Every structure is written in C-alpha cells, then in structure tokens.
DNA sequence: CAGGGTTCTGCAATCGCTTTCAGACTTCGG
DNA sequence: CCGAAGTCTGAAAGCGATTGCAGAACCCTG
C-alpha cells in the first residue's frame, strides 16, 4: 500500500492540509513544522498521488509526444531531447507513434489529449484543419511544421540549404538535383523553396526529382533519375534517402564524390558511418525536443502571454566525404 | 470544460451511477437505458476522466517503458511493438530513456512506478538487487535479460547463434571470432555462452575479442584485433558493431565476404542497406515489445496465476551478402 | 394474490489530494 | 492593556469517477 497524506500528517502530528502546504507551498507554513513534515514524509517514503492531485488541480503533470515513425532515425533523437527536458521539469512523457497514418494519429491525439497538460506534435502531413481543431482545445506545439498561429519549433532550412548550395558552388558544381520527400510534407515544401532561391541566387541549374517516400528505398528509387539527369551534385530530402542514393549510385558504378557529390539533411548517426561518410545539413534534433518542451511549458504557464510562440533552430552544414570538386568531364 | 458523468446523467435522465455502469459494466443495466446513456454520452462527447477513475480503482491505465538508449536502433522497434500492443489494450505508454546510466535509471523507475500499473524494463546492466527490490513493489517485465523469478521476455540467442555457426561451417570456415559487447550485459554473456557451445559442437576454433561498447565505434575498435587473429569469419554482438567492423575491414583493404565473413545480431534496418548487406541473426523486436505487454497485462490480471512468466522468442539467421565461402589461402 | 426471487436503478460513501474559510494564537501600536 | 493586524493551522468541501447497499419494480410460482 502506498502511504497517503494522512499518514504523513499523523506521523508529523499535524493535519493533512498542513502537509499539503508544507510540500507544495512552503512559506505558507512555519519553518519548524515544515521541517517536521518533510522529515516525516521522507521517513515514510511519501510520494503524492498524482491522480488525486490532478483531479483537483486539473493538471496531470504529463506531456504527450506524437511522432509519425520512430523507426525513422530522426525521431529518436527528438524524443530523447523531449524526454530529458520534460524530466527536468518533473513532467512525464507519453509517447505515441502514429505509424505514418494520419487517421491513427487523430485517434491517438484524441485519447492522449485527455491525459496530458500539453501535446508535442510531429505531424508533417496531418490535415491543417484537424490540427487547428486540436489546437483550439489543447495546448500544443508542432515540430517541423509551421502554419497559422500554432506554436511551433522548426529548423532554419533556408540557411542550411544555402550553406549546402554555397559549398557545392565553391566546389565548382553548376548543376544540382533535389531528391524530394513526400509531396505533402511541410518540410519538403519548405526545403525545396529554400533550395530554389539558393540555386537561383548562385546561378545554378536545379533538377527536381519528384517525390519519394522518405526512406532508404526512396533514395534508391531516385538514383537512376539523378544519373540520367546528368547533374554533378544532389541534395536529398533527408539522410536516409541520401544513403539509399549512395548505395544505388555505387551499384550503378558511379564514384562518390569523384563523379557526383551527395548531400543529405538531418545528420543521423548512420551518415557518419556510411562509405563515403555523408556531407549533410545537421539539425539539432535534441535541442528541438528541448525547445518544444520549453515552449509548451511556457504556454502552459501563461496561455496568452508568450511573446513568440515560434522557435527556429539553427542548422549547420557538416562537410564529410560525399562531396568533392565537380568532375571536369 | 470537459463534460462530466453528471452531465451525461442529466442528459440521459438517469443517475451518474447508471451512466458509469452503462459504460463499464454493460449487462448490469437495462438495454434500453443503456442505449439512451450511450447516445447521450456520444452526443456530449463524453470521455471518462482517467485520473478520477484511477483514484478509486487504483489503476492508471498506463504502462511504463524504460530503455537504455533510444538512439540504439534496436529500441525504437521494441518501443513500436510495445506502443501498438498497449494501444490495442487501451493503455497509454510512458517512455523513459535512461541514457545508459543506471543511476538515472533507478530515479526514473521510482518516479514512473507510481504512475503506472506495470513497467517494462530494458536494463541490460542494472544491478540485480535493484531490480529485485523493484520487482517486489511493482509489476514488471524485463526484456532482454533473465534472472531469478522476474518475468521476462528474451530471445532464443542459442538457436540463432547455432544457425549462424552452422552457416559458417557449411561455408567451410573453421576459425570464427566473437566481437563482444559490454562485459556486464546479460545478452552478451548469454550469447557468448551459446557461441562457445556451438563452436565446440562444430569443432571450430573460437577467438574472443574482448569487450567493446555496443556501438559503431566498438566495431571499428575490434576490427584490427580480428584481422590480426587470422580468423576467416566473425560474429558481432550486434549489428551496429558489425557495421563498424565492416567499415574498418574495408579501410584495411579486406574484402567482405571474400577475405572474411561477417555476421551481426539484431537485424536493424541499416543492416540491409550497408554494402555489403549484412548477414545477421534476426530478432523479432516488435514482437518482443508486444509479448512484453501481453505478459505484463496477464500479470496485472492475475498476479500469481501466470503459469509461465517467461517468454522466449525465436530467432532466425538472415543470410545476406556479408558471408561467403571461406578463403582457401 | 401473496411471497420470494430477479433485475434494475439511485443514494451515498469513498479514493487522496488541494484549497477556501474561519478560528487560534502572536505581535504590536496606541 | 485592548483591539487590530498578521501568522499559522485545521475542518470541511470538493475534484469526477466507482461501487456496496438498499429500495423499487417486476417476474414467477403455488
């Protein structure tokens, strides 16, 4: 049986109210009594029952985190960041994986929303209206997507991509291809927009190779188009796809980076282990998780008073072995 | 404001008790009234307050899942399995990542244990006594580790490793090396034991290359030892290490599998994407997650009545490109 | 039609905590 | 030395659900 507040009260020779106050609003209680209460609590190993507290305060002390696919190495890092920051703030985290299924996602959200104080949502493709409805009833922060007045944490894709393009230009490349992710993904749209303006500014030719699933297979599927297009460099929607690309390019007999340079986005662990190691736009995924929690918590404290409910995190090009000077033909 | 049971009661023209019963113990209530209640509930979008329910029933409807490192690709798969199965059973999952730190882990456990009905613990290196203490106060299932009477879900390492050794033997190998994981890891001990008996039975020489961190770097670090040992085949503690090994072997100028065959354990996504693709002992990680939840739930239902609180999941050698016939010198 | 048994429903207690309100005790200025 | 202000503490009322108990209504049998 767990010890309750009454037992602590009895042990300390005070009333339950005093125990409650001693624990959660010190200063309202005489230092001497408080000390006595605290000692009694420790002696009995007392931990307040969160359900009971939540029942009356209306807060659960829990956060919800919804990701589309934990198998995508981008997300574990994010989750770790969320985890760590939430723990520091004494919140526990409910994790749900929607398996890339928007329908499952809204179910999840509905169930989860009741049990948490706030929600962190990575839903690159969920319908905007669904999200707006949700935002109206729950405190929520979106990650990797931005629209309307919904609080969000995103990466500065433009800057990272600008760096990538500058890098390629410096290496003498004039033709670059884009291997696109899902058509409906916000990041994908954001990134290609950034890429367009960067290549325009640099006077480079851009070849866009449609939309592919954001997985290894997507990169494989794109490779032959890329080869046929005759570009000397390619930027992929994410690292996993870039790795797929790398594999298929090699199978087709091309050498990276001598024949073609490849850049990814994300900086997942594996990208420093591939051969060649992958040049990539590094995203601070853990920080994004922490930032999302921070934003969420401040939103919870002052529902309207948050001056800037949008955070944009810096990105950084990481040059590794998959990019080199453009082939001279 | 959320709708409460009283409002539903009023809407349906019955008492709160009846609403409660209609929802959670149908059969105890007249079909006609029940129908009326259900419609009222749906109309009002009623969802029972879990905290309130938990307060009286003593159950939270939550499960806790503690993993050592979400960045290790083994775990996301496990988490997904747990997730999915828990959701089916209408449980939500608290996830905590201990960052491979046993101290942090026990804190986590303490906090989490209060908020869940049961705990799934992946703690390959936690102290046995800590776990026993925990098991005494909480319903818990361990994954990937077995000792005492603590309920557990593990993989049949012996069988997988036997398959791997048989495969190597069939290819003509007579000398095999083991690249070990953490000294204190239960799986590591279990696997090397299995390997010893398999190589003995097959009359093969076994070279054990100490202990390495279970990461890519660990595999890299082991590679030179392996080369120096003169074996023609090697089995690594896990896929990530095997991939590290692959990288370093290539850098050293060895061809896989012509000069040396490499086998991993886990079957992480990346192992089918490497070059060469990795032969590996495949573990059904998702199933393990589901099995852990199943076991936990049955334990919760009948604390003592579970006939076999240990599950062992099958393993299967997956032959890919990193193994080939032994070099003839 | 009386009496016993079912079936269904409502009342009220309760889970463990927070919080309002009022009372008890101090302190202090006049 | 009295009253006002200030400081602590306790009693009690909930939060929103579940559930034991008892009463009401109905069924059936003899």
pLDDT in tens, A94-121: 999 988 888 888 888 888 888 899 999 9
Instruction: Read off the pLDDT of each residue in B238-264 and give the average, rounded to a whole number.
Output: 95
**How confident is residue B127, by pLDDT bands cut at 50, 70 and 90?**
confident
- In this structure, what token pair is assigned to residue A236? 């992929």
B30 vs A: CB within 8 A = no
B82 vs A: CB within 8 A = no
- Residue A58 per-residue DSSP state: S
**Nucleic acid strand C within 7 Å of A5 CB:** yes
Q: How far is A198 from chain B (nearest CA, A)?
A: 31
- Residue B233 per-residue DSSP state: E
Residue A193 predicted with pLDDT over 80: yes
Instruction: Read off the pLDDT of each residue in B239-262 and give the average, rounded to a whole number.
Output: 95
Find out whether A78 and A288 touch, Cβ atoms under 8 Å.
yes
Interface contact A93-B96, CB threshold 8 A: yes
Give phi and psi for A173, each to the nearest 5: -75, 140
What pLDDT does residue A292 have? Answer: 96
CA quadruple A93, A99, A102, A107: dihedral positive or negative? negative
The DSSP bridge partners found for residue B119 are B64, B140
Q: What is the mean pLDDT of chain B?
A: 92
- In this structure, what token pair is assigned to residue B168? 């190597």
Interface contact A275-B60, CB threshold 8 A: no
Helices (H) and strands (E) counted in chain B, each on its own, are 12, 12
What pLDDT does residue A1 have? Answer: 63
**How confident is residue B1, by pLDDT bands cut at 50, 70 and 90?**
low
What pLDDT does residue A328 have? Answer: 86
Interface contact A83-B71, CB threshold 8 A: no
Find out whether B176 and B234 touch, Cβ atoms under 8 Å.
yes
Chain B residue whose CA is closest to A107: B87
Residue A126 predicted with pLDDT over 90: no
What pTM value is reported for the model?
0.89
Q: Where are the alpha helices (DSSP H) in chain A?
A: 5-12, 16-24, 31-44, 50-57, 74-88, 102-113, 128-137, 157-170, 186-202, 216-229, 239-251, 285-301
Which one, of B328, B167, B181, B327, lies nearest residue B254 by Cα? B327
Which one, of B214, B249, B211, lies nearest residue B231 by Cα? B249
Q: Tell me the range of A271-275, B248-252, B304-308 where mean pLDDT is highest.
A: B248-252
**Closest to A115 (Cβ–Cβ): which among B80, B92, B114?**
B92
Residue A279 predicted with pLDDT over 90: yes
CA dihedral A70, A288, A313, A61 (to 10 degrees): 140
Which residue, chain included where needed, has tokens 């707006």? A132
Which one, of A298, A324, A325, A319, lies nearest residue A309 by Cα? A298
Higher pLDDT, A263 or A45: A263
Distance D4 C1' – A28 CA (angstroms): 21
Residues 22-41 of chain B with CB under 7 A from strand D are 23-25
**How confident is residue A161, by pLDDT bands cut at 50, 70 and 90?**
very high
What pLDDT does residue A109 have? Answer: 85
Residue B191 predicted with pLDDT over 80: yes
- Which nucleotide is nearest, taking the CA of residue B9 and each C1'? C10
Find out whether B49 and B78 touch, Cβ atoms under 8 Å.
no
Rg (alpha carbons) of chain B, rounded to whole number: 25
Residue B170 predicted with pLDDT over 80: yes
The DSSP bridge partners found for residue A62 are A92
Which residue, chain included where needed, has tokens 């986005």? A265
A137 vs B: CB within 8 A = no
pLDDT > 90: what percent of chain A? 72
Dist. CA B117–CA B91, nearest whole Å: 10
**Closest to B83 (Cβ–Cβ): which among A52, A96, A250?**
A96
Cα separation values, B147 from A314, B226, B309, Å: 47, 32, 12
**Nucleic acid strand C within 7 Å of A52 CB:** yes
What pLDDT does residue B255 have? Answer: 94
What pLDDT does residue B159 have? Answer: 96
Interface contact B108-A87, CB threshold 8 A: yes
* Chain D bases closer than 7 angstroms to a protein Cβ: 7-12, 14-20
Distance C3 C1' – B24 CA (angstroms): 34
Instruction: Read off the pLDDT of each residue in B97-125 and give the average, rounded to a whole number.
Output: 86
A89 vs B: CB within 8 A = no
């Amino acid at each position: 049986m767990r010890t309750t507040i009454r037992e602590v009260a009895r042990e300390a020779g005070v009333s339950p109210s005093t125990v409650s106050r001693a624990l959660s609003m010190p200063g309202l209680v005489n230092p001497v009594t408080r000390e006595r209460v605290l000692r009694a609590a420790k002696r009995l190993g007392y931990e307040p029952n969160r359900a009971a507290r939540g029942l009356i305060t209306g807060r659960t002390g829990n956060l919800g985190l919804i990701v589309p696919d934990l198998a995508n190495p981008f997300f574990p890092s994010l989750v770790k960041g969320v985890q760590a920051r939430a723990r520091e703030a004494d919140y526990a985290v409910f994790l749900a994986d929607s398996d890339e299924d928007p329908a499952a996602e809204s179910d999840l959200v509905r169930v989860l929303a009741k049990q948490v104080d706030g929600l962190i949502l990575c839903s690159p493709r969920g319908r905007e209206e669904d999200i707006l409805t949700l935002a109206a009833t729950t405190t929520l922060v979106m990650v990797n997507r931005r629209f309307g007045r919904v609080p969000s944490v995103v990466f500065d894709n433009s800057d990272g991509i600008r760096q990538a393009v500058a890098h390629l230009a410096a290496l003498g490349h004039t033709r670059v291809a884009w291997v696109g992710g899902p058509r409906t993904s916000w990041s994908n749209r954001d990134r290609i927009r950034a890429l367009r303006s960067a290549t325009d500014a640099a006077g480079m030719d851009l070849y866009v190779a449609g939309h592919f699933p954001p997985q290894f297979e997507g990169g494989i599927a794109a490779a032959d188009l890329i080869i046929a297009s005759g570009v000397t460099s390619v930027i992929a929607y994410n690292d996993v796809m870039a790795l797929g690309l790398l594999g298929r390019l090699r199978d087709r007999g091309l050498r990276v980076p001598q024949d073609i340079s490849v850049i990814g986005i994300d900086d997942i662990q594996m990208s420093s282990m591939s051969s060649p190691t992958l040049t990539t736009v590094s995203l601070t995924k853990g920080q994004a998780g922490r930032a999302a929690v921070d934003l969420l918590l401040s939103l919870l404290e002052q529902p309207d008073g948050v001056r800037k409910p949008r955070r944009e995190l810096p990105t950084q090009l990481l040059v590794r072995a998959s990019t080199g000077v453009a082939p001279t033909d």
